[in-house]
Homo-oligomer: A and B are copies of this chain.
Amino acid sequence: MKSKTGFFLTIEGIEGVGKSTAVKFIQDYLTAAHIDFITTREPGGTEIAERIRQILLTPNPEEVIVPETELLLMFACRAQHIAHKIEPALAAGKWVISDRFVDASYAYQGGGRQLNLDQIKTLDKWVVKTHPDLTILLDAPPALGLARAKHRGEHDRIEQEKVDFFERVREAYLQRAKADPTRFHIIDATQPLTTVHAEIKRSLDEAQRIRGSRQ
């Protein structure tokens, strides 16, 4: 379903492109506009989904997580997230801002891990009935993003991947964005922060127009 009242906005991008700063900017914008919203993230967003996130992101050298497990856990997380957080908030007329959503599975498990795309599409169809109204893709070369992410200290299991993994993730994100230019706004994250914010603001202004036109 597309909610008639709420609005579902997702932020996508590889490590270090500034998703957290973007989410903060969006929160300030929505607060100033007196819009009722929640922010959430994937993998995670509910108590059970956060427990699955821990399994997914904790490095475990003694028992490698096989690619199928990673993919199934991501979608198991997502099923909880949609049922217990995203859909109730949208049904209550709220905006939902999610730091990553299903596009990340296409980018990370599809592009990064090079898993069978048909498997991802199948799981998407089974699990995801509620789709984002708008997706902001923050795009930057992995080398830049990873250098920024490095400053934050310890890397999780997925952040420990090599640069070519993130090159494939980025490429998969860009392909997905180009295939659906109405939903995706690609923002060059290498620009100065004020420019990035101005572009996010334009996206949010448009989001308000889209939402307004549905009422």
- Which residues on A are within 8 Å of B, measured CB to CB? 46-48, 51-52, 55, 60, 62-66, 68-69, 72-73, 75-76, 79-80, 83-84, 119, 122-123, 126-127
Contact status A48-B72, CB under 8 Å: no
CB distance B69 to A48 under 8 Å? yes
Q: Are B84 and A79 within 8 A (Cβ)?
A: no
Instruction: Tell me the dominant secondary structure on chain A's binding face.
Output: helix
Interface pair A63/B75, CB less than 8 Å apart: no
Of all chain B residues, the one with the shortest Cβ separation from A82 is B66
Known A55-B51, A79-B68, A126-B68; judge A46-B63 contact (CB<8 A): yes
List of B residues within 8 angstroms of A73 by Cβ: 52, 72-73, 76
Given known pairs A47-B60, A73-B72, A119-B126, the reply for A66 and B83 (CB within 8 Å) is yes
Please state if B47 and A62 are interface contacts (CB–CB under 8 Å). yes
Contacts of A60 in B (CB 8 A): 47-48
Q: Taking CB as reference atom, which chain B residue is nearest A72?
A: B76
Most buried by B among A51, A52, A63, A73: A73
Rounded to whole angstroms, the CA-CA distance of A80 and B51 in the bound complex is 17
B69 close to A80 (CB less than 8 A):
yes
Chain B neighbourhood of A66, CB < 8 A: 79-80, 83
